[in-house]
Amino acid sequence: MANEMRTFVKVVSDDIQVTERLNQIFKSRRNTYEVDALDVINNLNGTSYCFQNEKEDFNKDVDFPSNEMWEEFIGPKWMRVEYDSGTLPEDCTIVLSSAWSVPIPFLLKLRNELQKIDPTCYIKGTYEDESFDPCGAFVAGEFDYDDMEDYDEVYDWDAADEDDFYNESWFEQLFQLENDLERAYLEYLQDRKDNPQDYE
């Protein structure tokens, strides 16, 4: 069973305004490098939510998102973000750490938000539990397209201890799964272009 999931997100776009929006979404309310789920919700919504220890007269009904909002914007019980900006979106590093599962609602919110700037923008990446069970890849793009698939090989801890190249091979297969999902998505886009009548 998953404990802490790490999700590695890549944003595919050549629009520098997408980078600017990423910088806004992943800005810490405390002006630190630590970005959490409340930062993300605040930056997407223009709200000013906080945790109880951050406000003297904290009122959960006013100062903290409802369960429904949390489910809509984040998904898992908690989420932290490691973010490093680049010039173009593809140069930005986004690593999400979350409880138990991939934060799918947030990934879809992120996709939708960035597509307001660049309609052709899509996101892709990989995810891994700390035990590598589960792990896999995903893609989310235009026309509400999203696909996620677990990598079905079982991680062999003994082999990893004995073989210096085991992890390298393992991650190559994981990245191949990401490439396969991306290829399927691009083929879907081409098919929509070639056969628009099939998507009416």
Predicted local distance difference test score (pLDDT) of residue 167: 84
Joined together, the tokens standing for residue 24 give 């806004």
Burial of 189 per CB tally in 10 Å (0-12, 13-18, 19+)? middle
pLDDT given at position 194: 95
SS3 94: strand
- Interhelix angle 16-25/37-45, rounded to 10 degrees, is 120
Q: How confident is the model at residue 30 (pLDDT cuts 50, 70, 90)?
A: confident
Q: What percent of the chain has pLDDT over 90?
A: 82
84-120, pLDDT tens digit by residue? 999 999 999 999 999 999 999 999 999 999 999 999 9
Per-residue pLDDT of 141-172, as tens digits, reads 999 999 999 998 888 888 888 888 888 888 99
What is the domain partition of the chain in residue ranges? 4-199
**pLDDT per residue as tens digits for the range 38-75:** 999 999 999 999 999 999 999 999 999 999 999 999 99
Contact call for residues 77 and 99 (beta carbons, < 8 A): yes
Residue 1 has pLDDT above 50, yes or no: no
- 63-95: b (≥16 Cβ within 10 Å) or e: bbbeeeebeebbbbeebbbebeeeeebeebebe
